[in-house]
């Protein structure tokens, strides 16, 4: 039976591809295609039905085609309804096409309601499931990368972890993540907990006009996720399967054993130390161990989703179950997730509608205990296991052999896993009083349980033994409750005045608690339940909560679809704000002018819609305000007191009370223009924004006499940051038929600047190897790199002597610039070295479809940012017994041998590895983010075997990356520092989607 089915599928496939394309054409038909207003429709496709014979209308809407006299011509054009007309022997066929109002009425999901795209006055972008359905991604965040102008997405690489999303630049030196709202419920449930196949659309609210409805949480934008719903009609069973293979996009090449031994000998000699007598002939050591190859593997991921959906005129359902299993590219890492989604709505009574959305996910993240940096630094001269089959480790002179514990041994033996169980559910009742007036009440429930569990056996490997085995367990739970109540009003007066309004109240509250315990010393490594542990090590636990009460209202008014006004206000009272600032009000207003609706606007097809948008608003961010920041905190402890050191219980103050602390504030102005041209075949949007953050939390100066040290920082709402930029998106239908070719372009420019820290003293941040790498300073972008400037290599002692005094310098060492010309190279010679924030984000997607085939080529990139390659400090430093990348093969070995890679010298007397532009690289890249090729088998043939549609998808994510960056991948942390990160993967996938 199955075999028969397979055979028919295959034959359908073959038939379609080989089907003849030529038909008899002996009759000439021509005519003009116009819209309802009489304007010519440019670029409409004209097609002889059932054949590939077709043409497109010209700039005056005319067409001409050879066809058979009894053919049926099919006219189609974006934003118009398609028309089929029988030629019936006629030679002139003028057509009037109706606008497809459904298309014009495309609806965007904004907070507490929806808005038709044409009524929009703010900056909102939407990504529908069509745009990511073929992306081989684990979570929807990865699929958003590049899709929305103004949205910066950074993947964390590691399976099961969330992406980092920033909207319109870094809005704060503190937490500036956007608010995530899933089916109307603001939640801290990560996007990675959702099954991508269950997501219908993602709407990004960017400017204050759009985000003000989320008040004190809207400052950094809002990501609105909407899950799928059932639709009326025949039920549908959908099966989606994907198998993907993953490899790291790039792995830096490291020295082999011979090369390392030679280097070590050189380091020893240069620093006046003894070389290793065993390494007298380095080349005899050969290749040695490739530790990275031991750690990394081909990752395999499979995703399967079965869903069923449908509905009647009164009720709809969508139910889905999903499974994702991922073997990481790091061997100790794996991820497994089960998803269940059930969405229903029902018009229970004529005046009462209910809807429910339930998302349940259970996942297990095995992170293991791996270290990219230790694995890179592990010496190739050791084997993974010794002759006895035990894990090897360095022994003896650490200057030769280093002191890194066997990184593969810990990866294999130490375990660590997080099990998570998430319920996100909401139920909404909607009462209709009149056709125009509705009341809606939503109760949302967001429950999260997660459990961390790790075990480390005792072992006696070199160089440092772990003497006690230990088991650690923690139990965490968080509950967030939401209760929204609001009225919705929507009415058109005198046919031209359209008024819609929303007003209501929202309450949200959360409680969270955890406890954990560790026991040490287990008799057997394989039996390590806590009850078997012999020594208590630690017990900890605590609880916290927060709540938010909000009043909000929004009015949208439009006159004749021509003049549009939106005003929004939200008043938030938060338990996190200090008693002096418990309540904040966040207003916004915006207006739009659809110039093309003016009577005087020429009725030309070249510009069929033109809209100007202006908006301003003030929103807040409370993410950086701790739950109890406004209170003084105290700790209890036990201290030995008195002459005999009797232990006494103590209570001591740990932070000062801070009754004025409140939200950070963003005032944002947005100006945008939307243009639709050539019967909407080309649409353009341009937005410019001025986003000024104020009241940003910065460290407050506390007199040292208060007794409060640096460790208990007190914050004040006193800093300022600005982001200015513009966003450009374009969508064009380049060819309509028989091949359809669409292009999406997106371009974002952003300039980030710290305006004030309320202090002339910059903050030094991001410490690596005891040096601060970045700096927060007024007038500079957030996380600006700060350090020394290199000036080549000292080739001779004369050059050293001629240069300003640089402690420890010898020929072969790096020459640092004496920026202040004081004749000494010291801290005063540091300067800003670059900006980790890209100036430009860009992407281009081309989607070409022909019959059932669809090819999508998606390019994405960033430009203008720098990366501090911190891995290179250890791995090109040539200063200790750590393995190095092959870049050091071109090191300085005598005058003239190199002017960029210094000499190898143990101990780094010149501090060649100090924070300098030596480790700063250009982070710009252009990526072939995704190429997908899919084939949909013809539906009329599939129907014979009871299948509605069947698609096969071949896809590749991160196929190629063009960059000058030398590390693993230029997609590094937001602060631009690349340090021991989980590698970004290149993914090849094969997918199948069957609908019954």
The yes or no reply on residue 237 touching its own copies (CB under 8 A) is yes
Query: Per the structure block, which two tokens stand in for 521?
Result: 């010393």
Is 328:159 a contact under the CB 8 Å cutoff? yes
What's the rounded Cα separation, in Å, for the pair 386 and 876? 28
Alpha carbon separation from 826 to 307, 816, 819, 910, 916 (Å, rounded)? 65, 9, 10, 12, 12
The yes or no reply on residue 761 touching its own copies (CB under 8 A) is no
User: Going by C-beta distance under 8 Å and a sequence separation of 6 or more, which residues neighbour residue 35?
Assistant: 41, 80, 96, 97, 98, 99, 605, 679
The yes or no reply on residue 543 touching its own copies (CB under 8 A) is yes
The yes or no reply on residue 312 touching its own copies (CB under 8 A) is yes
- DSSP H helices, 546-701, are none
What's the rounded Cα separation, in Å, for the pair 161 and 158? 6
The yes or no reply on residue 591 touching its own copies (CB under 8 A) is no
**Candidate segments 271-279, 309-317, 698-706, 920-928, binder of its own copies by CB under 8 A:** 309-317
Select 83 or 423, whichever has its Cβ closest to its own copies.
423
The yes or no reply on residue 5 touching its own copies (CB under 8 A) is no
**Candidate segments 153-161, 167-175, 420-428, 775-783, binder of its own copies by CB under 8 A:** 420-428
The yes or no reply on residue 365 touching its own copies (CB under 8 A) is no
CA angle 719, 723, 729 (to 5 degrees): 160
What's the rounded Cα separation, in Å, for the pair 3 and 639? 77
Q: Select from 888, 918, 812 the least CA-distant residue to 255.
A: 888
- 7, 17, 293, 523: which one binds its own copies (CB under 8 A): 523
- 638, 704, 710, 821: which one binds its own copies (CB under 8 A): 638
The yes or no reply on residue 311 touching its own copies (CB under 8 A) is yes
On the 0-12 / 13-18 / 19+ scale of CB atoms within 10 A, 463 is: middle
What's the rounded Cα separation, in Å, for the pair 53 and 58? 17
- DSSP H helices, 19-126, are 101-104
The yes or no reply on residue 281 touching its own copies (CB under 8 A) is no
Q: Is 738 helix (H, G, I), strand (E, B) or coil?
A: coil
What's the rounded Cα separation, in Å, for the pair 334 and 479? 27
- 245, 323, 421, 863: which one binds its own copies (CB under 8 A): 421
Beta bridge partners of 694: 665
**Candidate segments 146-154, 312-320, 717-725, 775-783, binder of its own copies by CB under 8 A:** 312-320
**Candidate segments 166-174, 372-380, 513-521, 713-721, binder of its own copies by CB under 8 A:** 513-521
The yes or no reply on residue 633 touching its own copies (CB under 8 A) is no
The contact mask relative to its own copies for 471-490 (x = CB under 8 A, - = no) is --x-x-x-------------
Site for its own copies, residues 649 to 668, rule: CB under 8 A: 649, 651
Site for its own copies, residues 698 to 757, rule: CB under 8 A: none
Select 347 or 713, whichever has its Cβ closest to its own copies.
347
Site for its own copies, residues 121 to 150, rule: CB under 8 A: none
- Evaluate the CA torsion angle 721, 223, 589, 568 in order and state its sign: negative
The contact mask relative to its own copies for 423-462 (x = CB under 8 A, - = no) is x-x-x---------------x---x-x-x-----------
- 101, 494, 531, 770: which one binds its own copies (CB under 8 A): 531
What's the rounded Cα separation, in Å, for the pair 370 and 159? 14
**Candidate segments 324-332, 354-362, 748-756, 792-800, binder of its own copies by CB under 8 A:** 354-362
Select 523 or 960, whichever has its Cβ closest to its own copies.
523
**Candidate segments 79-87, 138-146, 421-429, 789-797, binder of its own copies by CB under 8 A:** 421-429
| Number of residues near its own copies (by CB under 8 A) | 66
Q: Select from 883, 843, 887 the least CA-distant residue to 863.
A: 843
What's the rounded Cα separation, in Å, for the pair 784 and 774? 5
The contact mask relative to its own copies for 315-344 (x = CB under 8 A, - = no) is x-x-x-x------------------x-x-x
Is 849:856 a contact under the CB 8 Å cutoff? no
Smallest distance from the beta carbon of 636 to its own copies, in angstroms? 5
Select 43 or 311, whichever has its Cβ closest to its own copies.
311
**Candidate segments 289-297, 406-414, 541-549, 725-733, binder of its own copies by CB under 8 A:** 541-549
Site for its own copies, residues 160 to 199, rule: CB under 8 A: none
The yes or no reply on residue 996 touching its own copies (CB under 8 A) is yes
Select 308 or 728, whichever has its Cβ closest to its own copies.
308
Q: Which residue has the tokens 């000439």?
A: 28
Is 779:753 a contact under the CB 8 Å cutoff? yes
Q: Is 826 helix (H, G, I), strand (E, B) or coil?
A: coil
Is 581:627 a contact under the CB 8 Å cutoff? no
Q: Is 919 helix (H, G, I), strand (E, B) or coil?
A: helix
Smallest distance from the beta carbon of 645 to its own copies, in angstroms? 16
Is 812:794 a contact under the CB 8 Å cutoff? yes
- DSSP H helices, 504-617, are none
Smallest distance from the beta carbon of 304 to its own copies, in angstroms? 14
Q: Is 915 helix (H, G, I), strand (E, B) or coil?
A: coil
**Candidate segments 24-32, 348-356, 735-743, 762-770, binder of its own copies by CB under 8 A:** 348-356
**Candidate segments 231-239, 623-631, 700-708, 936-944, binder of its own copies by CB under 8 A:** 231-239
The yes or no reply on residue 536 touching its own copies (CB under 8 A) is yes
φ, ψ of residue 889 to 5 degrees: the values are -65, -25
Smallest distance from the beta carbon of 783 to its own copies, in angstroms? 33
Is 414:402 a contact under the CB 8 Å cutoff? no
The yes or no reply on residue 532 touching its own copies (CB under 8 A) is yes
What's the rounded Cα separation, in Å, for the pair 638 and 651? 9
- 538, 585, 701, 900: which one binds its own copies (CB under 8 A): 538
Q: Which residue has the tokens 């010519």?
A: 40
φ, ψ of residue 706 to 5 degrees: the values are -70, -15
User: What is the binding site for its own copies (CB under 8 A)?
Assistant: 234-237, 308-312, 314-315, 317, 319, 321, 340, 342, 344, 346-349, 352, 354, 356, 358, 360, 362, 421, 423, 425, 427, 443, 447, 449, 451, 473, 475, 477, 515, 517-519, 521-524, 527, 529-534, 536, 538-543, 636-638, 649, 651, 996
């Amino acid at each position: 039976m199955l075999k028969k089915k397979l055979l028919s599928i295959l034959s359908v496939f073959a038939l379609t591809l080989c089907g003849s394309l030529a038909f008899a054409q002996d009759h000439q038909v021509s005519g003009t295609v116009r819209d309802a207003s009489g304007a010519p429709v440019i670029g409409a496709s004209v097609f002889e039905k059932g054949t590939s014979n077709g043409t497109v209308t010209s700039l005056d809407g005319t067409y001409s085609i050879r066809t058979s006299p009894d053919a049926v011509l099919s006219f189609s054009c974006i934003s118009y309804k398609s028309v089929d007309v029988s030629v019936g022997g006629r030679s002139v066929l003028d057509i009037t096409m109706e606008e497809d109002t459904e298309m014009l009425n495309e609806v965007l999901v904004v907070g507490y309601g929806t808005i038709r795209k044409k009524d929009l006055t703010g900056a909102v972008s939407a990504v529908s499931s069509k745009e990511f359905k073929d992306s081989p991604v684990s979570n929807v965040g990865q699929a958003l990368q590049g899709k929305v102008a103004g949205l910066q997405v950074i993947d964390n690489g590691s399976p099961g972890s969330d992406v980092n999303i920033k909207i319109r630049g870094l809005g704060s030196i503190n937490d500036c993540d956007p608010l995530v709202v899933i089916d109307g419920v603001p939640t801290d449930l990560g996007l990675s907990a959702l099954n991508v196949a269950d997501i219908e659309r993602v709407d990004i609210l960017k400017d204050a006009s759009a985000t003000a409805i989320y008040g004190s949480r809207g400052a950094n934008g809002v990501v609105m996720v909407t899950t799928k719903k059932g639709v009326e009609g025949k039920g549908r069973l959908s099966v989606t399967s994907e198998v993907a293979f993953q490899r790291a996009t790039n792995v830096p090449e490291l020295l082999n054993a011979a090369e390392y031994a030679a280097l070590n000998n050189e380091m020893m000699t240069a620093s006046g130390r003894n070389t290793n007598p065993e390494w007298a002939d380095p080349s005899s050591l050969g290749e040695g161990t490739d530790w990275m190859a031991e750690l990394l593997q081909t990752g395999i991921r499979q995703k399967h989703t079965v869903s069923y959906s449908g509905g009647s005129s009164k009720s709809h359902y969508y139910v889905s179950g999903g499974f994702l299993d991922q073997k990481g590219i790091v061997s100790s890492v794996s991820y497994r997730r089960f998803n269940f989604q059930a969405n229903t709505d029902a018009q229970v009574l004529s005046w009462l509608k209910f809807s429910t959305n339930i998302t349940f996910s259970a996942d297990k993240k095995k992170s293991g205990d791996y270290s990219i940096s230790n694995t890179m630094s592990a010496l190739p001269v050791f084997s993974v296991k010794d002759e006895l089959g035990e894990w090897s480790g360095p022994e003896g002179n650490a200057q030769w052999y280093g002191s890194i514990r066997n990184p593969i041994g810990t990866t294999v033996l130490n375990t660590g896993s997080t099990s998570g169980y998430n319920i996100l559910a909401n139920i909404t009742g909607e009462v209709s009083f009149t056709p125009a007036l509705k009341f809606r009440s939503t109760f949302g429930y967001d429950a999260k349980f997660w459990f961390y569990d790790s075990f480390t056996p005792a072992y006696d490997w070199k160089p440092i033994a772990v003497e006690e085995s230990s088991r650690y367990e923690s139990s965490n739970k968080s509950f967030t409750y939401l209760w929204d109540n609001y009225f919705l009003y929507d009415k058109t007066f005198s046919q031209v005045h359209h008024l819609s309004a929303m007003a209501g109240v929202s309450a949200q509250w959360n409680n969270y608690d955890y406890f954990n315990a560790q026991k040490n010393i287990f008799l057997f490594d394989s039996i390590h339940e806590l009850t078997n542990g012999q020594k208590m090590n630690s017990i900890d636990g605590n609880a916290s909560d927060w709540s938010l009460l909000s009043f909000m209202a929004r009015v949208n008014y439009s006159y004749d679809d021509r003049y549009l006004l939106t005003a929004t206000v939200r008043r938030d009272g938060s338990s996190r704000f200090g008693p002096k600032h418990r309540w904040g009000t966040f207003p916004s207003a915006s207006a739009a002018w659809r110039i093309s609706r003016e009577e005087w606007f020429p009725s030309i097809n070249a510009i069929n819609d033109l809209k100007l948008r202006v908006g301003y608003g003030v929103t807040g961010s409370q993410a950086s305000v701790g739950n109890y920041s406004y209170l003084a905190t105290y700790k209890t402890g036990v201290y030995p007191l008195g002459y005999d050191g009797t232990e006494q219980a103590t209570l001591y103050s740990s932070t000062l009370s801070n009754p004025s602390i409140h939200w950070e504030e963003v005032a944002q102005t947005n100006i945008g223009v939307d243009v639709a041209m050539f019967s909407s075949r080309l649409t353009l949007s341009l937005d410019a924004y001025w986003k000024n953050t104020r009241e940003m939390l910065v460290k407050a100066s506390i007199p040292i006499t208060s007794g409060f040290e640096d460790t208990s920082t007190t914050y004040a709402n006193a800093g300022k940051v600005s982001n200015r930029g513009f966003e450009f998106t374009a969508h064009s239908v380049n060819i309509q038929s028989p091949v359809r070719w669409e292009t999406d372009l997106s371009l974002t420019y952003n300039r980030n600047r710290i305006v004030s820290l309320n202090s002339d003293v910059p903050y030094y941040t991001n410490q690596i190897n005891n040096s601060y790498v970045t700096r927060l300073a007024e007038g500079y972008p957030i996380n600006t790199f700060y350090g020394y400037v290199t000036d080549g290599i000292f080739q001779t002692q004369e050059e050293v002597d001629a240069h300003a005094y640089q402690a420890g310098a010898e020929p072969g060492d790096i020459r640092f610039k004496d920026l202040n010309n004081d004749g000494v190279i010291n801290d005063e010679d540091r300067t800003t070295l670059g900006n980790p924030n890209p100036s430009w984000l860009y992407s281009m997607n081309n989607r070409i479809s022909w019959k059932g085939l669809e090819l999508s080529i998606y390019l994405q990139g960033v430009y203008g940012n720098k990366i501090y390659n911190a891995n290179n400090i250890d791995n090109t430093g040539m200063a200790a017994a750590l393995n190095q990348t092959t870049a050091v093969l071109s090191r300085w070995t005598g005058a003239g041998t190199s002017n960029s890679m210094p000499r190898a010298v143990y101990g780094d007397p010149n501090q060649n590895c100090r924070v300098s532009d030596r480790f700063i690289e250009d982070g710009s890249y252009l990526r072939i983010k995704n190429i997908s090729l899919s084939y949909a088998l013809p539906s009329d043939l599939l129907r014979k075997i009871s299948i509605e549609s069947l698609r096969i998808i071949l896809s590749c994510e991160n196929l190629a990356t063009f960059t000058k960056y030398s590390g693993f991948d230029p997609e590094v942390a937001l602060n631009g520092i690349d340090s021991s990160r989980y590698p970004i993967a290149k993914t090849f996938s094969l997918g199948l989607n069957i609908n019954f």
